Structure 1
């Protein structure tokens, strides 16, 4: 990786300050506030990289006190000829987290982070990491995806190795990771022990914030802090550029805008207004994840991420703009919202990448219930033409066909099992679309469920499915999954693998460019 002062200043000109967490560009460090504490700072939760774009990448960290984040970047792990990039002051306003966009021109970018005290004393011990810059022509690309972390009562059990799937993923040296949502379970308190059906005892590491549902900003922040106590996750986050989206459990199960929590769920909460909880959850998400809200269309989640000549990722937000969960058959029901649906078609049509990867936080054809009478995702279980939220997705699929967009692949998680779904108009009630694949993976570290039934509206066929024999199976029972996309150097093929938690391939197929 070649770094220069000129490339540094080009990166600095890319945009201004935005988002919940402290985020500055090189050369634009924030002024120090009057919050000074003596002693040497400590970086408390590791480092992470994300939102990699042509020419730059985002580095994240957190300190134990107000201090200045400083990053050195280099083309080799010995940090010879490293470039020092002063960053933001980390303050309690952002839970002492911060992000800094650094130059990343080619190859593997190595970075070293310290927190410098505001009184001029010794800096923290450094933490190092690396990420892959956007690849050039003739370079292969490996992308992983999955979702759902610390769900259904399965937290960090150090005696069993913690969240080992993240080390298995890191061992495969991906260039990019798409986190499909449910990055935390803010609505999923942990207990100290869980007894498995075979008598084994799972022992959760506990923190106060994981002992109840999250309601305050401090409690939402504590969900992310808890996950980063795991050594496997910290190793992975430090070494792989991440593209992160959210779903429901960053706030509460199956939430939608305007919802008021009632019944048994409402009894668990003092704050029952979901919009209030969502605002706090969103703030914590943006503080604790390596995401740059300036790159999102709406300053939140949905965005496009070009990653070399052969790959572009289109990140969706199926949570913020949805209509209320219901029987899902009425007119005007939404899961993307009109603006996002229109953006998706336009963005796909304008992409020059060979492979267009739609990172969706929920599957299209899988039936996902919300209680006994409502539906949580797109499908509604009604045979025949699209209705409810299906109509919005039908419009997207028809738009893709009319604009003659080729090589579109959907990846998702959410349903806690892994599957390969092929959608084809000859099997469907709605036929105005081109055939496409949707690949499902997960969970990363949560209870395993499924498989669920498929809705026939868009003609899905399950080519492969793997789920547990019992619902809520623990990570010890072997049904944690991640997926992998390998794009050939010339872009002619995309090889898909659905993998288990040790990295073994369970199913594979090769798609060819059309």
Structure 2
């Protein structure tokens, strides 16, 4: 018998033995419905523990990824049901979680009913004695609906544990997660900066009014991340937050990354200069490889079998909505003055392959609304302010010259022109990065390049980080600011205690097919709302 089969047989025996059942017959694959829960192990020390709770993500109409993490070598087991009381359920025997993945594991639940709430519970079986099981941790995911008569709600935001503002339990932790959870969204777009690998967390930070901000601290967040374990520790830190764990157990995630998963404003091939004293590893591509591995380990990603490192991907939510998740880090050229006159490797932002994928995917979409999740805004000027970078270097699409498209703006020009030529309707952009909220209407009559359909872009964030902005605006594509959440003289890097943390919410009504997008503060208060009618 192959070793894997022996392990699997041993696992089933352990499950049934713990449940007080005899093993009979040859059907010992994935034990399915009506199997009782394994008996409780009395000693808590013998149990595997589940320090990060559970998450789900990358949902489709018939599937969803369930993620969790143990504290020791264990076998991941997922039971799931459309009944909250698990009156009947199915069981999936998942992977062995080992040191090689920091004890994280994923199970792809398939053949699920569309548009349904699927309840799941995760348990880990100790691989040493085979008898000790963790306490079950429960969660819920909602599969994508294929019913045109069901409404869709989603939320979006980004940036947590930034600028040293970590988990302050006296403040309520990452309390914006609880406000978003109350929206009962179908899914959450995390627009990046899930961690701040380049930011340390100290026990106390003095606020401008003289009071103290108190952080939970860990050894892993006492220095910038350079090793694989450092990046893992940064992801594990955010899972210490109660509000985030509760949200993650209730709402599926669609995740992308931005710069702080690796280092501020990074790009492939970058070498960290001598002015930055905190890093011994200078090759940013090496840091990025470690960071990406940790990000995949700590998120419910569905891995692309053809390209296991690919982050950009699309999701279909029936006839009302398609979502296109971009990757604006992996394929970009170096940060520069961003004034190139042609589109090539130096001026790339998405890169040619991803751009062609986006254009083809938008053209093929038959959904009423096409939402592009971009981790950086189109027209807000974001300078690269790293200490070893010349002044006048830019980090995002915009180059601050307010003229005809140049540099990375050439990609925007290509995408927007394609959308108009192909008459692709109802494209909306959601984004983050700048640490305040904004609603922008792009009007070709105001633009230096005008060969595009009007569209909206909405900025959310931060979840729990310093508040900045407002940023300068590049007028190349005719942005018309309809709402900005912070005043022009807003102090920079305000703590979450200033209550300037934000998220966006979108609701699609199935009867009118309108999309209502609103921007909210960390308590859920609506600050701005606009009704978008679909183009026929």
Normalised TM-score (structure 2) = 0.87
Shift in Å, 1:120:
2.2
The answer for the alignment partner of 1:205 in structure 2 is 216
The answer for the alignment partner of 1:66 in structure 2 is 73
- The question of 1:413 aligning with 2:422 is answered no
Q: 1:243 aligns with which of 236, 254, 257?
A: 254
Asked whether the equivalents of residues 296 and 302 of structure 1 are also in contact (C-alpha less than 8 Å), the reply is no
Secondary structure of the structure 1 residue equivalent to 2:51 = strand
Q: Deviations over 1:148-195 (max 9, x none)?
A: 011011001111111111111111111110000000000011121111
- The question of 1:366 aligning with 2:375 is answered no
Q: Deviations over 1:253-280 (max 9, x none)?
A: 0000000001432x11000100110000
Runs of 5+ unmatched residues, structure 1: 1-25, 29-37
Runs of 5+ unmatched residues, structure 2: 1-28, 32-44, 386-390
Distance 2:513 2:249 in 1: 31
Shift in Å, 1:296:
8.7
The answer for the alignment partner of 2:189 in structure 1 is 178
Instruction: Give the ranges of 4+ consecutive aligned residues of structure 1 lying more than 6 Å apart after TM superposition.
Output: 295-298
State which structure, 1 or 2, has the greater radius of gyration over its C-alpha atoms: 2
Distance 2:329 2:406 in 1: 19
The answer for the alignment partner of 2:289 in structure 1 is 279
The answer for the alignment partner of 2:442 in structure 1 is 423
The answer for the alignment partner of 1:115 in structure 2 is 124
The answer for the alignment partner of 1:147 in structure 2 is 158
The answer for the alignment partner of 1:96 in structure 2 is 103
Asked whether the equivalents of residues 61 and 146 of structure 2 are also in contact (C-alpha less than 8 Å), the reply is no
Shift in Å, 1:397:
0.7
Shift in Å, 1:481:
0.2
Shift in Å, 1:293:
2.2
RMSD: 1.5
The answer for the alignment partner of 2:245 in structure 1 is 234
The answer for the alignment partner of 1:442 in structure 2 is 461
Q: 1:503 aligns with which of 500, 524, 527?
A: 524
Asked whether the equivalents of residues 485 and 497 of structure 1 are also in contact (C-alpha less than 8 Å), the reply is yes
Shift in Å, 1:202:
0.5
The answer for the alignment partner of 2:7 in structure 1 is none
Secondary structure of the structure 1 residue equivalent to 2:164 = coil
Asked whether the equivalents of residues 503 and 522 of structure 2 are also in contact (C-alpha less than 8 Å), the reply is yes
- Mark the CA change 1:386 to 1:295 in structure 2 (over 3 Å): closer, same or farther: farther
* Equivalences, count: 479
Asked whether the equivalents of residues 30 and 91 of structure 2 are also in contact (C-alpha less than 8 Å), the reply is no
Q: Deviations over 1:453-509 (max 9, x none)?
A: 111110001100012621000101010000000011236200001000000100000
Shift in Å, 1:27:
5.9
- Mark the CA change 1:216 to 1:297 in structure 2 (over 3 Å): closer, same or farther: closer
The answer for the alignment partner of 1:494 in structure 2 is 515
Q: 1:349 aligns with which of 363, 386, 394?
A: 363
Normalised TM-score (structure 1) = 0.91
Asked whether the equivalents of residues 113 and 128 of structure 1 are also in contact (C-alpha less than 8 Å), the reply is yes
- The question of 1:264 aligning with 2:275 is answered yes
Q: Deviations over 1:43-88 (max 9, x none)?
A: 1210001000120100000001111111111112101111111111
Shift in Å, 1:307:
1.4
Distance 1:467 1:273 in 2: 36
Secondary structure of the structure 2 residue equivalent to 1:116 = strand
Q: Deviations over 1:342-396 (max 9, x none)?
A: 1111100101111100000000011000132200000001122100000111001
Distance 2:274 2:350 in 1: 27
- The question of 1:327 aligning with 2:346 is answered no
Distance 1:269 1:467 in 2: 34
Q: 2:318 aligns with which of 302, 308, 319?
A: 308
Asked whether the equivalents of residues 251 and 277 of structure 1 are also in contact (C-alpha less than 8 Å), the reply is yes
The answer for the alignment partner of 1:339 in structure 2 is 353
Secondary structure of the structure 2 residue equivalent to 1:225 = helix
- Mark the CA change 1:27 to 1:350 in structure 2 (over 3 Å): closer, same or farther: farther
Secondary structure of the structure 1 residue equivalent to 2:503 = strand
Distance 1:501 1:304 in 2: 28
Q: Deviations over 1:74-126 (max 9, x none)?
A: 11210111111111111111000000011331321100110012232031100
Distance 2:410 2:168 in 1: 44
- Mark the CA change 1:346 to 1:27 in structure 2 (over 3 Å): closer, same or farther: farther
Secondary structure of the structure 1 residue equivalent to 2:209 = coil
The answer for the alignment partner of 1:223 in structure 2 is 234
Secondary structure of the structure 1 residue equivalent to 2:88 = coil
Distance 2:196 2:309 in 1: 23
